[in-house]
Amino acid sequence: MKNIKTTLIYPGIAGRGFNSLKQGMDAGWISHGLASLSAAAKAKGFEIDLIDLRALSGWDHFRTILTERDPDVVAVTVMSVDYNPAKEVLAIVKEMMPETITILGGAHITISLEDSLRIPNADYLIIHEGEITFPELLQQIAAGNLPKQKVLRGKTPDLDALPYSDRELFMAEWRKWGYDLDSPEVPFAQELQAPFATIIAGRGCIYNCSFCKPGEDYLFGKGTRRRSVDNVIGELRLLVDKYHLASFMFHDDCLTEDREWVLEFTEKYMAEGFTMPFFSQSRADIIVKNEDMVARMVKAGLRGYFIGFESGNPRILQKVLRKGCTVEQNIEAARICKKYGISIWANYMMGIPTETKEEVMDTVRMLKEIDPDYYSPAFYTPHPGTDLYTLVLENDLSLITDYDSYRRNPEEPKIRGQDYEFLKWAMQESMRRKPANTLKRWTKNQWQRVKRATPRKVMQKMGLLPQHAS
């Protein structure tokens, strides 16, 4: 069996383009898919490196680096939005190194296999999860025993048996191109300080939102598989030891869907002596029905929730999006977050199929009531593999003519039947706070500045803090 060199490619330049390293979430976070594949392949003895297009200046730069690396195998992960740069990567690889074996994997490859098979210059496609199948394919390539089938179905791994994500794969590469943060990833909120990292505790989702399902089921199977609490605590301990981790985010679709897991995690997290602040994703209905769990998470270090409020209209929320939450729960969840000092990262959409202007205004009014700390709006984008995407295609509503337009952004028309000039105005209006809320936030910020700047003993003498405060 000969030694082979494998180069993984992260093609995520559809959002911010080349030379975008450190610029926010989409250019400052690792790909957990590639990081996990790297860890699994390295555990089997393979030599793995990375080319992250976000760190390069352009395609000529890519050609230069590819020549220097001279890999035997190139493997590319593909989201729908990455289709064009992934296609260009393969074209360049085969033009410059015809004997190099090329492999595609990732969400789009699984969800849109027929479409993916039309990508030229791909020798193999791995669908579903790749941590077992990818190293097996490398072993076959190294032995000169190439599989005859082009599409390989990934085997479902035991998540606890996998090595932790290879973050150094990204950090080592980024440092070559000017990444100067002492942090595995770039923090995205003022509540989270570097060194910061994202963590994924499980795969899949138990819910049935029409803008997401059944695509995710194709990837991971129905339901959720989650790593054990001890396994996650072990990864956190490693990150603290290696990177002096100061904060993190659970990047799971909905960590809080598993109440018992969360309660066990918070108990063991505090018992470990960890005090690092963290964010996680949640849902309004979960927050409303589990206020005691919310309080426990805050005690452990929770500082913010990502919440998919999606819409402020009951018909859109229930009938079109199948969210399973009510507008009343959205508003109550925000009230609970404010009660416990939890920052709210509000995800919501406009321009949803069949949505009227009045229904859009329901969302505007809801956002003004919720008054989130962070706004994360988007124009609805029909993504392959989802029921709402199928509805859009069946009714000839899609305006997407290029894969780059699968970006989650509020900047370009996505479907027919929507007034996007109105939507742009409505989106701006949704982020305009009520005067009373603006005043509350100004007062709160001023108070925080005073607390940071004024010695505690002085504040106690002034009566601004109790004498026993610690």
Confidence of residue 469 (pLDDT cuts 50, 70, 90): very low
Confidence of residue 443 (pLDDT cuts 50, 70, 90): confident
241 in the same domain as 279? yes
288 in the same domain as 244? yes
Structure confidence at residue 459 (pLDDT): 55
Domain edge (last residue) among 98, 129, 161: 161
Report if pTM > 0.85: yes
Domain contains 78: yes
Beta strands across the sheet bearing 196-199: 196-199, 247-250, 278-282, 302-310, 343-350, 374-379
Structure confidence at residue 461 (pLDDT): 61
Q: Provide mean pLDDT across the span 266-289.
A: 98
Q: What is the CATH number of the domain that holds 350?
A: 3.20.20.70
- The pLDDT tens digits for 84-135 are 999 999 999 999 999 999 999 999 999 999 999 999 999 999 999 999 999 9
Computed on alpha carbons and rounded to an integer, the radius of gyration of the chain in Å comes to: 23
Beta strands across the sheet bearing 73-77: 47-52, 5-10, 73-77, 101-105, 124-127, 151-153
* 455 pLDDT more than 70: no
* 470 pLDDT more than 50: no
391 in the same domain as 339? yes
Say if CB 337 and CB 191 are below 8 A apart: no
- The pLDDT tens digits for 181-217 are 999 999 999 999 999 999 999 999 999 999 999 999 9
Smallest CA-to-CA distance from 308 within 205, 397, 401 is with 205
Say if CB 374 and CB 345 are below 8 A apart: yes
The strand pairing partners of 5, in sequence order, are: 47
92 in the same domain as 223? no
Domain contains 469: no
Domain contains 454: no
193 in the same domain as 153? no
* Residue 354 buriedness (CB in 10 A; 0-12 / 13-18 / 19+): middle
Domain contains 380: yes
Domain contains 253: yes
Return all residues near 195 (Cβ < 8 A) that are at least 6 apart. Answer: 182, 183, 184, 243, 244, 245, 246, 247
Distance CA 345, CA 197 (A): 18
Q: Whole-number mean pLDDT of the chain?
A: 95
269 in the same domain as 133? no
216 in the same domain as 149? no
The strand pairing partners of 103, in sequence order, are: 75, 124
327 in the same domain as 364? yes
Q: Any idea what DSSP says for residue 181?
A: -
Distance CA 267, CA 275 (A): 12
241 in the same domain as 340? yes
Domain contains 385: yes
Distance CA 403, CA 222 (A): 27
Structural domains of the chain, count? 2
Domain contains 445: no
Smallest CA-to-CA distance from 410 within 423, 397, 394 is with 423
Residue 58's domain spans which residues?
Answer: 5-161
Q: Which pairs with CB-CB distance under 8 Å and at least 24 residues apart come from 461-468?
A: none
10 in the same domain as 97? yes
Structure confidence at residue 457 (pLDDT): 60
Domain contains 462: no
43 in the same domain as 149? yes
127 in the same domain as 203? no
Domain edge (last residue) among 161, 194, 210: 161
Q: Would you put residue 19 in left (φ > 0), alpha (ψ -120 to 50) or beta? A: left
SS in 3 state form for 125-180?
Answer: EEECCCCCHHHHHHHHHHCCCCCCCCEEECCCCCHHHCCCCCHHHHHHHHHCCCCC
Q: What is the CATH number of the domain that holds 82?
A: 3.40.50.280
Distance CA 123, CA 126 (A): 10
